[in-house]
Structure 1
Amino acid sequence: MLEALLGTKNRELTLQYLLVFNEGYAREIAKYFDVSLPSIQNQLQHFEANGLALSKMSGRTKVYFLNPRYAFLEELTALLVKARSYYKPELKEKFEMQRKRPRRVGKPL
C-alpha cells in the first residue's frame, strides 16, 4: 500500500510489525511475514541509522522498537493505521491477531 512512499513492501511490513507488537527482532519479523532475513535486517538497520527505531540487547538478540522521540512518529503511526485498513483480509488478520504464543491449556476465555 505505501510502497511508493516508503520504497519497499518489506519496509512497510517491518514498520507495521513494530507498531502493532511494540518491538521485535529481525528473525522474528522475517518469519512472521515469510520474507528473507537479510531484507528485514537491512530495513531495521536503516530505521535505526535514521532515528526512526532504537534497539536494545536482550541476551544475544538485538530487539528493535520505534523511537518515541522521533519527530514524525504520530503522523507515521496515523499513516500506517490508515494503510492497514486497505490491506487484503489475510494480511489485515496478521496485524489484528496480536498473540505470539498459544493460550495456556485450560485458561478461560
Structure 2
Amino acid sequence: MLEDVLGNVNKERVLVYLTARGDGYPSEIAGFFNAPATPIQVQAEKLETAGVLYSRLVGRSRVYSFNPRCVYVKELKALITRVLEFYPEDISTALLNNRRRPRKPEKPLKRSIND
C-alpha cells in the first residue's frame, strides 16, 4: 500500500512489522512475509541510517526498533497503524497476535490429530 510513497515494498514490510510488534530482526521479518532476508536487511539499515530506526545486538542477532529520538516517529507510526487496518485480516491478525514468550516447561505440547 505504501510502496509508492516509500519507494520499496520491503521498507513498508519493515515498518509495518515493527509498528505491529515493537521490534524484530530482519530474518524474522523476512520469514513472516515469505521474502528474502537480504533486501529486508538493506532497508532496515537504510532506515537506521536515516534515523528512523535504531538497532542493538541481542546475542548474535541485530534487533531493530523505532528510534524514540526521531522527531516524526509518532506520526509515522500513526500512518503505518492506519495502513495496517487495510491489510488483509489474516496478515494483520497474525502481526498483532504474536506470542513471543517461551512455553512453560510443564505445559504439554499440542498433539496433532494423527498422533
TM band (smaller chain): 0.7 to 0.9
SS at match of 1:51: coil
Q: Which 10-residue stretch deviates more, 43-52 or 56-65?
A: 56-65
Give the TM-score of the pair, scaled to structure 2.
0.83
Alpha-carbon RMSD: 1.6
Q: Which amino acid aligns with 1:14?
A: V
Determine what percentage of the aligned residue pairs are the same residue: 36
Counterpart Cα distance in 1 of 2:46 and 2:21: 19
Q: Which amino acid aligns with 1:93?
A: T
Q: Residue 32 of structure 1 aligns with which residue? A: 32
SS at match of 1:56: strand
Give the TM-score of the pair, scaled to structure 1.
0.87
Q: Residue 3 of structure 1 aligns with which residue? A: 3
Number of residues of Structure 1 aligned to a counterpart in Structure 2: 106
Q: Whose radius of gyration is greater, 1 or 2?
A: 2
1:46 aligns with 2:54: no
Q: Which amino acid aligns with 1:78?
A: A
CA contact (8 A) 1:20 1:98 kept: no
CA contact (8 A) 1:11 1:40 kept: yes
Q: Residue 67 of structure 2 aligns with which residue? A: 67
Q: Tell me how far 1:98 sits from its aligned partner.
A: 2.1
Structure 1 unaligned residues grouped into runs of 5+: none
Structure 2 unaligned residues grouped into runs of 5+: 109-115
Q: Tell me how far 1:70 sits from its aligned partner.
A: 0.6
Q: Tell me how far 1:90 sits from its aligned partner.
A: 2.0
Q: Which amino acid aligns with 2:94?
A: K
